[in-house]
Structure 1
Amino acid sequence: MHLSTIITALASLGSIVAAHPGHDIRAEAAERAAYMEGAPLQARSLSHCASSIKRRGMTNANIMRRQQAVRQLREARRLATHAPLLKARDIRGGLNSSHHSDKHVGPSTDPSELFESGGTCILGPDTTQGPYYVTGELIRKNIVEGQPGVPLYLDVQMIDTNTCEPVPNIYLDFWHCNATGVYSGVFGWGNGDPNDDSIIDKSFLRGLQKTDAAGVVQIETIFPGHYQGRAIHIHVLAHSLDETETNDNNTLADIYTAHASHVGQFFFDQDLINTVEETSPYSSNTQPLTMNADDIILLQEARMIDPFVEYVLLGDDISDGIFGWISMGLDGKENKEIPPAAFWTEDGGVENPKGGWFPPGPPGGGYPPSWD
């Protein structure tokens, strides 16, 4: 997709400029378009790593890890461990369609047919962090904090695009909105109740995990809800290698100077979204739902890469939960400063007055104590 085509498409968006106030979709999409237009193949895809990954045994290890995770989750949730996995993903579908395979998946299905797929290797354009990034969040596996919604368990693997090796010992930051489209940690018009300034002190659906020797983290969350102007997505930020220190309170040090080697988003099949959106509390969200096919940022990515999470349902009903997996590439040599929207400190949330796509509105807690 040429940059001129994307700019034309952006012009047709009319008044849909900001999903949340302070988040300019057209500006973000233009940056991503420019990146995708000029980036070399190895910076846009992990396809050049496929044979190397398989030769090193990573493919088989991934299959076994995902299979074991599903079995353990079913046992923990007291679901039938012998039941067929209901969905097998295939990447032949389009933006607004199912990615399901037409093959039968049952208890006797070889795990490699389900958990091995060329669609698992993707690289999102590394340009902007998207709205509402907050530094100082807790290092933890479970980021739910009591938020209602469909349970979602994610297996995320990071691969260095220069070496095709997994990236161990790197912290990944995750954040997304809740079932009704509200982000924690930021306060302003357009993000939930504009009169509830306590939201800046909350940290639900945010957290970090450190990759293991295989470059993998597993997190527990809920399926994201939606907000106007964007398709449903999850943000992920990889902190720079060898430059991350931790505090005794299980957070990263130096929250006022965040550095990253990768920033991206990943997405979900439209038919899965539609199914989740029919359940409570998602169905109570009065904001318009943007379909995958109408999200200009996703449209760009999906023409060159596969930014969709692969998944299986854990039980007979969507409420039993979803297990998903995805691999993402990063340039281990990259190191850039990322301006957060806010800082989560020992005294609560503090707005960053100098960046990070913070929405307009009343201040949510003043300035950081050491900011000048």
Structure 2
Amino acid sequence: MVRISTTLLVVTAALLLPDSVVAHGVHPVHARTPDRLEQRRLFMAEGKRSLKDCANSEASRRLQERTVARRAAKADSLRAERRQRRRLDVDTVVATSHKSNLTGLTIDTDASELFGGDVKCILEPEVTQGPYYVNGELVRSDIREEEEGVDLYAEIQIIDVNTCEPVEGLYLDFWHCNATGVYSGIVASGNGDSSDTTNIDKTFLRGLTPTDEDGVASYTSIFPGHYTSRATHIHIIGTYNGTLLENNTYSGGYASHVGQLFFDQDLISEVELTAPYSTNTQEVTTNANDKILSEEAAEDFDPFFEYVLLGDSVSDGVLAWISVGVDMTRAQTITAAGTLTSDGGVMAESTSTMGGGGGMGPGS
């Protein structure tokens, strides 16, 4: 069903792996120490207090009004585009099943119910960024390239928990695996065919884009697939004070806002029935059995996209969105498994890093 926010839910999309777990066999992750657990508890508690103050502020009200109008307009535009495609290819549409497992969606559903809502997540600065992060990716919003799958239109809104204002100019890295569970830009055991060395130079389903005046970064992608031991998810990293290069890549800066975002299991299951997802032979891990997600859910955190279908079935595309709170005074060093250079991809020989240090970011 459609997930509609009715109360202020403050959650974290910064997910740590439990002790002895290795993400994709690349980055080992260590258990949280008592000091780190206490620091994390204090960080999240302060974030909750800040967001409660934001909820009734004038800035929050104005931002929500703009958010409702923008997302409603985007949904209308995407649906109109879909209708035009149907008119151009009637035979294909007639032969396609539009049955949806979701309930409660009608053409009269109020846009404010679908798109109104509060900040849903707090991104923590000191976390594991997940497998296969590649530094220096292309600045772009459409990251599909030639990958097949269910179209996904994702919007991530970034709010500063200290000011209640949207964060403008934060470059948000956004990446995930393809429909059969393979990440581009990395050659490694467990990531598709490890003998295919050409994957190091591929860039599909990776990109970053700056947030606009409303703190929103928008992406056109495909719905992510799955791989063994992990539920379906998307990785994000926010960076600032870096350099936009002439080849339209982004380099350097501080990387301080890290997270993994998830989808409802009903939606995942429906997508997995379609091709090419249905050809993926890797073992499926549900949200309920994902160790990273379950660790955070135990603390009443809920890093899930809200969404609507753009037609009668997932084949017509998915519009998904989430609002995320960040503390722009915090920063950390991020490790990368590889780097995209002007000569192609390069795997890290040991551990490469980007960012570091502190200071205020954009929008402060």
Range class of TM-score, shorter chain: 0.7 to 0.9
Residue 259 of structure 1 is matched in structure 2 by 254
Structure 2: runs of 5+ lacking an equivalent: 1-14, 87-98, 354-364
Residue 71 of structure 2 is matched in structure 1 by 66
In the alignment, is residue 78 of structure 1 matched against residue 95 of structure 2?
no
8 A contact 2:64–2:117 mirrored in 1: no
8 A contact 1:267–1:309 mirrored in 2: yes
8 A contact 1:53–1:164 mirrored in 2: no
Distance 2:338 2:35 in 1: 22
CA distance change for structure 1 residues 313 and 156 in 2, over 3 Å: closer, same or farther?
Answer: same
Give how far 1:125 is off: 3.4
8 A contact 1:19–1:229 mirrored in 2: no
Q: Deviations over 1:285-305 (max 9, x none)?
A: 111111111112212333332
8 A contact 2:233–2:260 mirrored in 1: yes
Distance 1:147 1:32 in 2: 40
Distance 1:33 1:220 in 2: 36
In the alignment, is residue 309 of structure 1 matched against residue 311 of structure 2?
no
Structure 1: runs of 5+ lacking an equivalent: 1-5, 88-97, 358-372
Q: Percent identity?
A: 46
Residue 318 of structure 2 is matched in structure 1 by 322
In the alignment, is residue 226 of structure 1 matched against residue 226 of structure 2?
yes
**Which residue identity lines up with residue 52 of structure 1 in the other structure?**
S
Q: Deviations over 1:5-24 (max 9, x none)?
A: x99x957xxxx933522244
SS at match of 1:352: strand
Distance 2:38 2:184 in 1: 30
In the alignment, is residue 21 of structure 1 matched against residue 25 of structure 2?
yes
Residue 247 of structure 2 is matched in structure 1 by 249
Distance 2:190 2:35 in 1: 24
Residue 365 of structure 1 is matched in structure 2 by none
Distance 2:341 2:35 in 1: 31
CA distance change for structure 1 residues 33 and 278 in 2, over 3 Å: closer, same or farther?
Answer: farther
In the alignment, is residue 43 of structure 1 matched against residue 47 of structure 2?
yes
Stretch deviating more after TM superposition (149-158 or 348-357): 348-357
Give how far 1:43 is off: 3.0
TM-score (norm 2): 0.81
1:1-372 equivalence runs, <5 A: 17-24=21-28, 27=31, 36-43=40-47, 46-52=51-57, 55-78=60-83, 104-118=104-118, 120-126=119-125, 127-240=127-240, 243-254=241-252, 259-302=254-297, 303-355=299-351
8 A contact 2:143–2:205 mirrored in 1: yes
RMSD: 3.0
8 A contact 1:124–1:305 mirrored in 2: no
SS at match of 1:333: coil
Residue 364 of structure 1 is matched in structure 2 by none
Distance 1:30 1:201 in 2: 41
SS at match of 1:112: helix
Give how far 1:284 is off: 1.1
Q: Deviations over 1:122-153 (max 9, x none)?
A: 11433121111101111111000110111000
Distance 1:147 1:31 in 2: 43
Residues paired across the two proteins, number? 324
Q: Deviations over 1:61-89 (max 9, x none)?
A: 111111111111112222699xxxx99xx
SS at match of 1:67: helix
**Which residue identity lines up with residue 249 of structure 1 in the other structure?**
N
SS at match of 2:184: coil
CA distance change for structure 1 residues 44 and 21 in 2, over 3 Å: closer, same or farther?
Answer: farther
CA distance change for structure 1 residues 39 and 161 in 2, over 3 Å: closer, same or farther?
Answer: same
Q: More strand per residue: 1 or 2?
A: 2
Residue 92 of structure 1 is matched in structure 2 by none
TM-score (norm 1): 0.79
Stretch deviating more after TM superposition (67-76 or 120-129): 120-129
Distance 1:329 1:148 in 2: 32
CA distance change for structure 1 residues 55 and 208 in 2, over 3 Å: closer, same or farther?
Answer: closer
CA distance change for structure 1 residues 28 and 190 in 2, over 3 Å: closer, same or farther?
Answer: farther
CA distance change for structure 1 residues 26 and 180 in 2, over 3 Å: closer, same or farther?
Answer: farther
**Which residue identity lines up with residue 65 of structure 1 in the other structure?**
R
